[in-house]
Amino acid sequence: MLSRVAESIYWIGRYLERVENTARLINVNSNLMLDLPKGITLGWEPMIRILGCDKDYTERHDEITERRVVNFLISDESNPGSILSTLAFARENARTVRDSLPREAWEEFNAFHQNVVDTKQTSYARQGRHDYLSLIIRGLQQHTGLLAGTMNHDTAYHFLNIGRKLERADMTSRIIDVKSENPIPDDAPELRPYEDMLWMSMLESLSAYQMYRQSMQVRINRIDVLTFLFRKAEFPRSFTYCTENISTNLSKLPNNAGPLEMLRNIEQVMQKTSMAKMDNDVLHKFVDKLQIHLGHLHGAIAETYFPSLAEEAA
């Protein structure tokens, strides 16, 4: 398959996954705002930082308010990282390779995109926001299913999966990172119940709560939640599930030595780190490290499969 097409499909996978997880992240934060006692707020500032768009935000806004941040993250088309911008990038990429995608999937995605654009104002107020974000998450899940069920599981599909899982690993780690912004001081035992609530919200945002209960069979606690979200190979949004899936897909591609080596580095970092000793500070640094490694993995994939076409031609 053409390198250019492989690259576009890889980015479609990444963009769509980014949209879905941004929606999940905003939902978890919105829920937390409702659950936490007055006086203890998580605020919206960490959200911008976690999504890596703090610079873009401060260029446009001089204060941080819920409404501004949420609009910035969801519907501001001048923010390249907003849900609508990212979705538009995905659509534009799909358009450049529309001949490689099943027609039904393209049509469904087009209709979905149109619907998301047309109803964006429902996300402005808290009241409609949850439904709007759920519409996005469900729509993307449907799209994933449609592609899985109608597309040849060949090279194109492997690239779609690699893009998607790499982004998901990255975003899952970012969502966990919300916890390292924990506003609840470690020395305040009376606030312990709220700590559990934070973990529960996080699990729910990743559709992981029920699966956690089923598989861990313990009450919510820090070590088990972290173990589940980082290491549970059976849960499809866990970090380890993603890296294993990337490995499976990479193994079906030619010339995969470079990317596989980068992947092994990530696996080693994951294995060597103890979940028991993760206070907020350590957790934050660990997530940073994982993201840097994922960056290297992306670099190796790009270098191997999408050598800069313009450069070569020059």
Partner 1 sequence: MSINWESFTNHPFYDELITPKGHARSYARKLIGYLKNLDREELDERQQAADLAIKQMGITFRVYTEEEGSIDRAWPFDIIPRMIPKKEWDQIERGLKQRVEALNLFIDDLYHDQKIIKDQVFPAVVLAASVNFREQCADVNPPLGIWAHICGSDLVRHSDGKIYVLEDNLRVPSGVSYMLENRQVTKRVFPELFETYSPLPVNTYPGALFDTLAALSPRPGDDPEIVVMTPGIYNSAYFEHAYLAQQMGCELVEGRDLIVQDDDCVYMRNVEGLSRVDVIYRRIDDLFMDPEAFDRDSVLGVPGLMRAWKAGNVALANAPGAGVADDKVVYSYVPDIIRYYLDQEPLVPNVPTWRCMDPDSLTYILEHLQELVVKPANESGGYGMLVGPASTRAERETFAKLIKADPRNYIAQPTLGISTVPTMVRGGQLEPRHVDLRPFILSGKSIKVTTGGLTRVALRKGSLVVNSSQGGGSKDTWIVDS
Can you give the binding site for partner 1, defined by CB under 8 A? 1-6, 92, 95-100, 103, 106-107, 110-111, 114, 155, 159, 253-255, 305, 309-310, 312-313
**Structure tokens that stand for 29 in this block:** 């934060």
- 94 near 106, Cβ under 8 Å? yes
- Count other C-beta atoms under 10 Å from residue 308's C-beta: 12
- 21 near 50, Cβ under 8 Å? no
Closer by beta carbon to partner 1, 6 or else 73: 6
111-150 burial by CB neighbour count: b if 16+ within 10 A, else e? ebbeebeeebeebeeeeebeebbebbbebbeebbebbeee
Closer by beta carbon to partner 1, 279 or else 303: 303
Task: Write down the least CB distance from residue 289 to partner 1, Å.
Answer: 30
- 287 near 173, Cβ under 8 Å? yes
Task: Write down the least CB distance from residue 102 to partner 1, Å.
Answer: 9
Closer by beta carbon to partner 1, 41 or else 119: 119
Task: Write down the least CB distance from residue 132 to partner 1, Å.
Answer: 20
- 1 near 160, Cβ under 8 Å? no
Closer by beta carbon to partner 1, 98 or else 120: 98
Task: Write down the least CB distance from residue 266 to partner 1, Å.
Answer: 22
Determine if residue 63 is left, alpha or beta; phi over 0 gives left, psi from -120 to 50 gives alpha, anything else beta: beta
Closer by beta carbon to partner 1, 1 or else 191: 1
Task: Write down the least CB distance from residue 7 to partner 1, Å.
Answer: 9
